[in-house]
Amino acid sequence: MSVVIAAWILGSAWKSSHSSNHTISVTGLASKDFDSDLIVWSGSVIRKSLELKDAYAEIKKDQETIKKYLISKGIVESEMVFNSINISKDFSYVYNSDGSRRETFNGYVLSQQVEINSKNVEKVEKISREVTEIIDQGIEFNSNAPSYYYTKLDKLKLEMLANATANARQRAEKIAENAGAQLGKLKKADMGIFQITAQNSPEELTWGGAFNTYSKNKTARITVKTDYFVN
C-alpha cells in the first residue's frame, strides 16, 4: 500500500487587529489506500408449504445442509450465525364479476438468514460466488453482495491525523517564509471530514463523510484545519 499525502491551502489571511494576533490558516489533507480485513456476507433460504410443520422441517433440514456446506468450504461455526425463522402466509386474490374478492390460502412461507463474519476475505468472497452449488442441491438460497470493513480504523485515523497536521504545518511554514515572517505556535486545529471511498472510483465525497462498504480496496481521506500564530 502506498501513502499519498497532499494538501491545499483553503485560505491564508493576515488578521490585523493586533500584530501579535497575526495568523495563517491552512488545511492539510492526508490520503491512504488500504485493503479491507473483514468481510460480512449473508444469504437467506426460503421454503413454502401448505402445512407449517412441513415448511419448518424443510427449512431446518436446509439449515443443516448449508452449515455442512460452509464448513466444507473452510468456514468455522463461530463465523456463521443463523437468524430466527420468519413466518408469513401467502394468499392469492380473485375478483368476481360483481366486484367481490375471493381469497385463497396458498401456504406458509418460511425464511431464514445466515450471516458470515470473517477475516478471511478471499475465502468468503470465493464462497459467495460459488453459492449456486447450494441451489443445485434443491435449496432456494438468495445471496446478498458482501460488505467489506476494516478493523483497525481507529489506528488508521490517528495515523492520518498526524500526517495531515504535519502537512498543514509544512504549508504554513512555506507561507510564512514567503511573507518574510516566522511561524509561531499552533493556535487552533479542527479535524475535518473523514471519508472512505472505493479506490480508483468516481465516488463522490460528501459533507457528512462517505463510508464505502461495497469495495474491498478502499481509500481513506481526512482533513485538518489549522491556525498558526505568525511572529
What pLDDT does residue 201 have? 78
Q: Which has more confidence, 207 or 29? A: 29
Give the residue numbers spanning the domain of 48: 40-146
Of the chain, the percentage scoring pLDDT greater than 90 comes to 75
Q: How far apart are CA 127 and CA 71, in angstroms?
A: 11
Give the domain CATH number at 125. Answer: 3.30.70.2970
CA proximity to 112, closest of 68, 70, 49, 55: 55
Q: How far apart are CA 108 and CA 48, in angstroms?
A: 6
Asked if 44 and 137 sit in the same domain, the reply is yes
Task: Report the 3 state secondary structure along the chain.
Answer: CCEEEEEECCCCCCCCCCHHHCEEEEEEEEEEEEECCEEEEEEEEEEEECCHHHHHHHHHHHHHHHHHHHHHCCCCHHHEEECCCEEEEEEEEEECCCCCEEEEEEEEEEEEEEEEEECCHHHHHHHHHCCHHHHCCCCCEEECCCEEECCCHHHHHHHHHHHHHHHHHHHHHHHHHHCCCCEEEEEEEEEEEEEEEECCCCCCCCCCCCECCCCCEEEEEEEEEEEEEEC
Q: Tell me the three cell numbers of residue 137.
A: 442441491
Q: How far apart are CA 10 and CA 28, in angstroms?
A: 9
Asked if 48 and 104 sit in the same domain, the reply is yes
**What average pLDDT does the segment 195-209 reach?**
79
Asked if 142 and 203 sit in the same domain, the reply is no
Over residues 22-67, the pLDDT tens digits come to: 889 999 999 999 999 999 999 999 999 999 999 999 999 999 999 9
Give the domain CATH number at 14. Answer: 3.30.110.170
Query: Is residue 9 very low, low, confident or very high in pLDDT (cuts 50, 70, 90)?
Result: very low
Over residues 112-165, the pLDDT tens digits come to: 999 999 999 999 999 999 988 998 888 999 999 999 999 999 999 999 999 999
Asked if 108 and 162 sit in the same domain, the reply is no
Which among 113, 146, 179 is the end of a domain?
146
Asked if 84 and 180 sit in the same domain, the reply is no
Q: Tell me the three cell numbers of residue 54.
A: 412441513
Q: How many domains are there within the chain?
A: 2
Which among 131, 146, 161 is the end of a domain?
146
CA proximity to 203, closest of 217, 189, 188, 182: 217
For residue 129, the cross-strand partners are none
Q: What one-letter code names the amino acid at 38?
A: L
Q: What is the pTM of this model?
A: 0.80
Query: Is residue 4 very low, low, confident or very high in pLDDT (cuts 50, 70, 90)?
Result: very low
Asked if 134 and 65 sit in the same domain, the reply is yes
